[in-house]
Chains A and B, each alone.
Chain A
Amino acid sequence: ETGVTQSPTHLIKTRGQQVTLRCSSQSGHNTVSWYQQALGQGPQFIFQYYREEENGRGNFPPRFSGLQFPNYSSELNVNALELDDSALYLCASSPGPTIQYFGAGTRLSVL
């Protein structure tokens, strides 16, 4: 049990729709990162938030956006969904730029 919770656990959307995924960080952790894991691959970094500011971004288009709230919970928003966005989305929280703790993920299917 990492103390990082994600919702929803599963989600089905159609191409072109928008989706919001949520993450509640472990208590005391001010940094949250989001990763996308396609089937059969390792997780790929999307972006990181530190004290409500984006603090780093991977190779993902602008239609992937995020927010971090004062209580350090976070949202990942994806606009104009594409079939290739079908994946497991993982949130990780950390007390600093070191060890990261992951939630159980949200499995998104885009039809």
Chain B
Amino acid sequence: GIQVEQSPPDLILQEGANSTLRCNFSDSVNNLQWFHQNPWGQLINLFYIPSGTKQNGRLSATTVATERYSLLYISSSQTTDSGVYFCAVFSGSARQLTFGSGTQLTVLP
């Protein structure tokens, strides 16, 4: 099956800093989603982005499907951005999202 790798595994920032999270995948994808998992376990949809670039406030994402990677940018980070960020993909005829192992982001005040 498809492999999804995220980097870095852990990231610690000062409030106000910018960051880039990366997601590499091993095969072509039909769907790619970025999620933020809050401390209570809720997976919050950030982007549905199988290709191209999208922006939502301080967050933006770019997926280059031909090169099999996606990037999540967080600008002017806030303490509320802390949590785990997951990338997940659908590939081929698969019925499920395959998740990466996540990036644990900690934003310090």
Residues of A within 8 A of B (CB): 2, 33, 35, 37, 41-45, 48, 55-56, 58, 88, 90, 92, 97-105, 107
Contact A99 B96 (CB under 8 A): no
Contact B31 A98 (CB under 8 A): yes
Q: Given A42-B86, A42-B102, are A100 and B42 also a contact pair (CB < 8 Å)?
A: no
Contact B99 A101 (CB under 8 A): no
Near A by CB (< 8 A), chain B positions 16-68 give: 30-31, 33, 35, 40-43, 45, 48
Q: Given A98-B48, A98-B90, A100-B33, are A45 and B42 also a contact pair (CB < 8 Å)?
A: no
Contact A97 B41 (CB under 8 A): no
Report the interface size class on chain B: 20 to 34
Number of A-B contacts (CB under 8 A): 62
Shortest distance from the beta carbon of A94 to any chain B beta carbon, whole Å: 10
Closest to B6 in A: A42
Contact A104 B31 (CB under 8 A): no
Contact B41 A42 (CB under 8 A): no
Contact A99 B86 (CB under 8 A): no
